[in-house]
Chains A and B, each alone.
Chain A
Amino acid sequence: MFDRDHHEHLGQIKSRLFGYAYALTRDAEQAADLVQDCMVRGMSSRNVPREARAFRAWMFTILRNLWIDQMRSSRRERETCAEIEHSQADPPATPPEEVVVNRLAVRQAFLRLSKDHRDVLALVDIAGFSYEEAAEILQVPKGTIMSRVSRARSMLSQILGEMQVIPLSRARQGMRNG
Chain B
Amino acid sequence: MAEDDLPFETLSAYVDGELPADEAARVAQLAAAEPRTARRLAALQQLRAGVASVPPEMTELPRPPAPPRQRGRMPLFGAAAAAVLALALGLGWWTMTGTGQQQTGPTSFAAMLASHDAWQEARSAAVPAQWPVSAGLSPARTSELMAATGLELVHSEIVTLPGGTRARHSGYLGSRGCRLSLFEIPRDGETPDLPPTPFSQSDDVLQASWHTDAMRYVMIARDMNSVRFATIADSMRAAAQASARQERELLASLENARQRCLV
B51 lies within 8 A of chain A by Cβ: yes
- The answer to whether B55 and A96 have CB atoms under 8 Å apart is no
B127 lies within 8 A of chain A by Cβ: no
B135 lies within 8 A of chain A by Cβ: no
A66 lies within 8 A of chain B by Cβ: yes
- The answer to whether B242 and A125 have CB atoms under 8 Å apart is no
Q: Which residues of A contact B55 (CB under 8 A)?
A: 18-19, 22-23, 31, 126
B22 lies within 8 A of chain A by Cβ: no
- The answer to whether B18 and A126 have CB atoms under 8 Å apart is no
Q: CA separation between A125 and B44, bound complex, in Å?
A: 12
Q: Report A1-34 CB contacts with B as 1/0, cut-off 8 Å.
A: 1111111000000110011001100001101110
- The answer to whether A97 and B66 have CB atoms under 8 Å apart is no
Q: Report B77-104 CB contacts with A as 1/0, cut-off 8 Å.
A: 0000000000000000000000000000
B208 lies within 8 A of chain A by Cβ: no
- The answer to whether A125 and B227 have CB atoms under 8 Å apart is no
- The answer to whether A146 and B9 have CB atoms under 8 Å apart is yes
Q: Report B111-149 CB contacts with A as 1/0, cut-off 8 Å.
A: 000000000000000000000000000000000111011
* Interface window among B56-64, B215-223, B254-262: B56-64
B52 lies within 8 A of chain A by Cβ: yes
Q: Report B189-216 CB contacts with A as 1/0, cut-off 8 Å.
A: 0000000000000000000000000000
Range, interface on chain B: 35 or more
- The answer to whether B145 and A43 have CB atoms under 8 Å apart is yes
- The answer to whether B51 and A97 have CB atoms under 8 Å apart is no
Q: Which residues of A contact B64 (CB under 8 A)?
A: 7, 39, 43
Q: Which residues of B contact A139 (CB under 8 A)?
A: none
Q: Which residues of B contact A95 (CB under 8 A)?
A: 40
- The answer to whether A149 and B12 have CB atoms under 8 Å apart is yes
From A32, A106, A131, contact of B54 by CB (8 A) = A106
Q: Report B151-173 CB contacts with A as 1/0, cut-off 8 Å.
A: 00000000000000000000000
B19's closest neighbor in chain A, by CB?
A146
From A4, A98, A105, A146, contact of B69 by CB (8 A) = A4
On whether A126 and B51 interact (CB within 8 A), knowing A36-B149, A150-B8, the answer reads: yes
Give B residues with C-beta under 8 Å from A: 7-9, 12-13, 16, 18, 36, 39-40, 42-44, 46-48, 50-56, 58-59, 61-62, 64, 66-70, 75, 144-146, 148-150, 176, 225-228, 231-232, 234-236, 238-239, 242, 245-246
Give A residues with C-beta under 8 Å from B: 1-7, 14-15, 18-19, 22-23, 28-29, 31-33, 35-37, 39-41, 43-46, 66, 69-70, 73-74, 95-99, 101-103, 105-107, 110-111, 121-122, 124-126, 130-131, 146-147, 149-150, 153-154, 156-157
Please list 13 pairs of residues, one from A and one from B, whose beta carbons are closer than 8 Å in the complex, sorted by A's number. Answer: A3-B70, A7-B64, A29-B59, A33-B225, A40-B149, A40-B232, A41-B231, A43-B239, A70-B227, A106-B51, A111-B54, A146-B18, A150-B9
